[in-house]
Chains A and B, each alone.
Chain A
């Protein structure tokens, strides 16, 4: 599938990687890959299952995924648009709320979320089901693999 042209100079789409890597978006500023396939729009997991989902995910042959931190997820919000309020580089986004790995300081049974319909940020109970978009560090090894 064709990726959209990138709005932010800081994000490069998967198209710029090796030809097969079409389900990920490369984020050079944060030095991570973002999952961007059909599942990143359709997933619905409680927080623990979201953590496990990323840990077991294999995408374009890449393993070692994790939930994004709040700061990482906030960095792909585009407050200049809604439904979805996400940067142009992303193709598959749910009309709903996404999990982050960031704990809620005041209550360990909650964690931070971002609603990509608008960009609203909130601390949801971990038992709630939300969508998941995993991230993965760009290691030297995977960087070489993509060449």
Chain B
């Protein structure tokens, strides 16, 4: 079983490169595989997806808060306004877990990695997801 996991990891690494990235400044580990750029989900699905995610042998993933998401934004760059070191460089809108205080049942915060701007949107919108875990 362990051998199979190792083989799977090796295979994934060969196909996608690394599947997560440690940000040493914050101690946060970010999902960084192909799914980040290819799949969209509504807010509830995004939370459930991260909670169930298993990447690099870890299962304690979660949807990042807006502040956490901002720690990987680099405003000196654009399209994407994303720090260096990430393999998957989508410039789409991403979900944060942070509810919008003005309408917390229906809206949450989204961040665009085109330029780094953040807005609140309805939770039924389908956006990209990059899960996070603490090291």
A-side residues, CB < 8 A to B, are 70, 74, 79-83, 85, 102, 104-106, 112, 118-123
Interchain residue pairs with CB less than 8 A apart (27): A74-B70, A79-B66, A79-B98, A79-B101, A80-B101, A81-B101, A82-B100, A104-B75, A105-B75, A105-B78, A105-B81, A105-B115, A106-B78, A106-B79, A106-B115, A118-B100, A118-B101, A118-B102, A119-B109, A119-B118, A120-B117, A120-B118, A120-B119, A121-B117, A121-B118, A122-B117, A123-B117
B77 CB within 8 Å of chain A? yes
Q: What band does the interface of chain B fall in when counting residues whose beta carbon is under 8 Å from A?
A: 20 to 34
Q: CB-CB < 8 A to B109: which residues of A? A: 79, 119
Kindly report which residue of chain B lies nearest to residue A114, judged by CB atoms.
B118
Chain A residues touching B, majority SS: loop
CB distance from A70 to the nearest CB of B (A): 6
| Contact (A112, B118) CB under 8 Å given A79-B101, A79-B109 | no
Q: Which residues of B contact A (CB under 8 A)?
A: 66-67, 70, 75-79, 81, 98, 100-102, 109, 115-120
A119→B120 CA distance, assembly (Å) = 9
- Bound: A81/B102 CA distance, A: 7
Question: Which chain B residues lie closer than 8 Å to A112 at the CB level?
Answer: 75
Complex CA gap A118/B100 in Å reads: 8
A121-B116, A123-B115 in contact; A82/B78 too (CB < 8 A)? no
In the assembled complex, the Cα of A84 lies from the Cα of B53 at a distance in Å of: 36
Q: Verify A105–B119 contact, CB threshold 8 A.
A: no
Q: Are B120 and A85 in contact (CB under 8 A)?
A: no
Question: Given A79-B98, A81-B101 in contact, is the A105-B76 Cβ separation under 8 Å?
Answer: yes
Given contact pairs A80-B101, A105-B75, A106-B78, A118 touches B120 in the complex (Cβ within 8 A): yes
A118 to B101, CA, bound (A): 8
